[in-house]
Amino acid sequence: MSKQKTYDRIARLYDILDLPFEHFRYRPVRQVMFEGLSGDLLDAGVGTGRNFPYYPKDCTVTGIDLSPSMLGRARSRKDRLGTAVELIEMNVLELDFPDASFDSIVSTFLFCVLDNEHQQGALEQLCRVCRPGGIIHILEYTISENPWQRFIMKLWAPWVRFAYGAEFDRNTEQYLEAAGLELLETTFLHKDIIKLLTVRPKAG
């Protein structure tokens, strides 16, 4: 099943399925993810709009997603919250923006969903549309080194793969250099399972 069909299928249940994780895990993580970002901002893989309450006030935000059904939920949330964001149906592998369009870019668990063969291509697109000196924040899961936590994540993995088409161990940083990006910092925001990669286009 394609990623679009997967998320079109799950869109109406997405927020319900994610509610416990959103309440106990993701809210503080989202807040940190937007710290220090400014200017024209791209939310790549905007989903149902869970990031909306955390957008910096001085940012002009564009949100993209591959799934029309997820975007439909995001538009309803936008209307309900009054969030200033332009929502566009778009594939991160084929961004329809000019080069150097954004000062800041975020992706929230997007690269957990992208297959390994698409990781570099998506990063190259983000690099292309990011302005020189701009910042890209990539939030993703990683497999815990704690034996018990690791065991639990392995148990969850088949469900996560079926429901979301996602994996816990994409290790996106291994594709950064080939995509023209420089890793500035890796910060764990929840135990050792949710990490924030802070990257930027390589100078020159």
Per-domain boundaries in the chain: 3-201
Contacts of 60 (CB under 8 A, 6+ apart): 39, 40, 41, 84
What tokens were used for 174?
């291994």
Is the pTM of the predicted complex or chain greater than 0.75?
yes
CATH topology of domain 3-201: Rossmann fold (3.40.50)
CA dist., res. 104 & res. 196, Å (int):
14
Across the 204 residues of the chain, what is the mean pLDDT of every consecutive 10-residue run?
86 89 91 95 98 96 98 97 98 98 98 97 98 97 96 95 94 97 97 97 87
Give pLDDT, residue 1: 56
pLDDT at 24: 86
The confidence score (pLDDT) of residue 23 equals 84
The reported pLDDT for the residue numbered 157 is 96
Where helices occur in 40-89 by DSSP H, the ranges are: 68-81
